Amino acid sequence: MRIVIVCEARVRRGKQMVLTPQREIILQELRHATDHPTADELFKRVRCRLPRISLATVYRNLESMSRAGLVRKIQAAGSQKRFDGNMFPHDHMRCVSCGVVLDSPTPLKPDPLDLPREIQGHRVVGYSMEILVVCASCQDSGAAQTDS
């Protein structure tokens, strides 16, 4: 299990963005997804509804929506960025064998009131937790298990 404290010296405030038809469809697809898709995976889904959309447009919009706080970017070292449309507080489980990212069924985070307000001059604005697992599919297929 790994806890990452997210710190920023300066917090962005008042970020607003226009919800274009493209952004709206990207957001709808992401909010209905439970598999935390990569930009490439989401592009394939969105392209069914918007055949002329480009991969670059999907990437750009996901990054903009992430900065605006409409979607959450999930970055694990050594793997592609994944995106989450569920903005309610929750933890993630990542399979160390196949890389799938799943929502944790129970909250495992400590009380937010126990967090320090500042670390070395940086204001703490939140944190995320990633639980490393071997998913049920990999267990069933006999994939190698890793103790991390």
Which token pair is 24? 């709206």
Listed in sequence order, the residues at least 6 apart from 54 whose beta carbon sits closer than 8 Å to its beta carbon are none
Query: Nearest-CA neighbor of 32 among 87, 90, 102, 85?
Result: 85
Pairing of strands 92-95, 122-133: parallel
In the predicted model, what is the mean pLDDT of the chain? 81
In order of start, what are the domains of the chain with their CATH numbers? 2-10+18-141 (1.10.10.10)
| CA pair distance 50, 58, nearest whole angstrom | 11
10 Å Cβ neighbour count for 4?
11
pLDDT score at 58: 97
Which residues in the chain land under pLDDT 50?
Answer: 1-13, 148
CA distances from 54 to 26, 37, 59, 95, 97 (A): 12, 17, 9, 30, 31
| CA pair distance 25, 131, nearest whole angstrom | 30
Q: If 0-12 CB within 10 Å is exposed, 13-18 middle and 19+ buried, where does residue 20 land?
A: exposed
